Structure 1
């Protein structure tokens, strides 16, 4: 079931209802003005009361519509990278990273898992509900060992993707926070998965700013076997 489609339907209906209620409010406003000109104060007061009711109802329906729209957006994901893995020797891997624009980069990695780290800039709730997506910068891809003690003794691999400069947006947020009033926070997000020979993984960014890594179906089946085999 596609929950984005399920949420989109009531959102559209609520927007239409909000428009209808606003039209009714406009009718009450025009009627109230007409009665005021005719010095029918009781009738004018009645239409004014209905005007307030319709405006409150429109605000309520519009608020629900925006909330549903926001939740639909929060569930959407933007592709970050595709990773293809090939084993060279136990705990040694050749990775090919493909970006959404088709560019690729090959690298060697040591460990049992790959880990992708990104720096994410998240907007405040009004801007986020309006549809403004979080910004991200891929920071690094590193190898990760299943045995924590092995992390201190075995070779570690870190591929740096950071290209921050003096005018980097994330650094400017830290240096001049007042210049970015709609920025909620800047934080790190990471995702990792076990490496298997011939594995293919997709990495995406959710509207919440969380990185998500997923294997394809064939890779998920191989992950049920001993890693590295």
Structure 2
């Protein structure tokens, strides 16, 4: 909800700025018209950039202590091939065919600092990738591997990448979290949780517990 509000506020501010800029740009008073027109055009471009950032922010959720961000169900469909069902807290489910012996879920994290943290902005996250891996080194090198973008978001501006590539930006930090690789076994069910220390996955039923014990 925090990132939804943040995105909506940025979008409303951008729309208001576009309106003011267009009013100034289309005005009939020509004193300093070129300067005003140039400033208005820059303001419009900046406003559209803000809209793009706002749209990207809406795709993030707030991190709470040990929050379950997804459950992963496993169904074997062939040798070394499994159908993974990734369900998120709002009830949405997606299915992916993953090859290998193990699965891993990656998450993008944005942390706030300084005055932004003091005013109440909380760290946010977004699911990023689902990938498979083989236990055998030979298979890992030669067999087909699967990696999926599971963010489900098409954005013009990737805030996380922008922050990650510009570490000098103040009061905001981009981090990458990955759940430990866990075995895929027919009928297994796992929970993926997230806190300030990282991403964790744990078995939720008998087949998952048995797979983890055997693998370890």
Whole-Å separation in 2 of the counterparts to 1:155 and 1:221: 27
How well do the aligned residues superpose, as a CA RMSD in angstroms?
A: 2.8
| 8 Å contact kept, 1:196–1:222 | no
Deviation at 1:90, TM superposition (A): 2.1
Structure 2 residue aligned with 1:166? 156
Normalising by structure 2, report the TM-score.
0.60
Whole-Å separation in 2 of the counterparts to 1:181 and 1:171: 15
Whole-Å separation in 1 of the counterparts to 2:117 and 2:188: 34
Structure 1 residue aligned with 2:98? 109
Q: For structure 1, which segment, 115-124 or 96-105, has the greater mean C-alpha deviation from structure 2 after superposition?
A: 115-124
Which consecutive residues of structure 1, in runs of 5 or more, have no partner in the other structure?
Answer: 1-73
Deviation at 1:196, TM superposition (A): 1.4
- The answer to which structure has the higher helix fraction is 1
Q: Which has the larger radius of gyration?
A: 1
Matches within 5 A, 1:210-229: 210-223=198-211
| 8 Å contact kept, 2:76–2:82 | yes
Whole-Å separation in 2 of the counterparts to 1:202 and 1:84: 9
| 8 Å contact kept, 2:182–2:212 | no
Deviation at 1:189, TM superposition (A): 1.2
| 8 Å contact kept, 2:188–2:205 | no
CA 1:129–1:217: 2 relative to 1, 3 Å: farther
Structure 1 residue aligned with 2:81? 92
How many corresponding residue pairs? 151
Normalising by structure 1, report the TM-score.
0.57
Which consecutive residues of structure 2, in runs of 5 or more, have no partner in the other structure?
Answer: 1-62
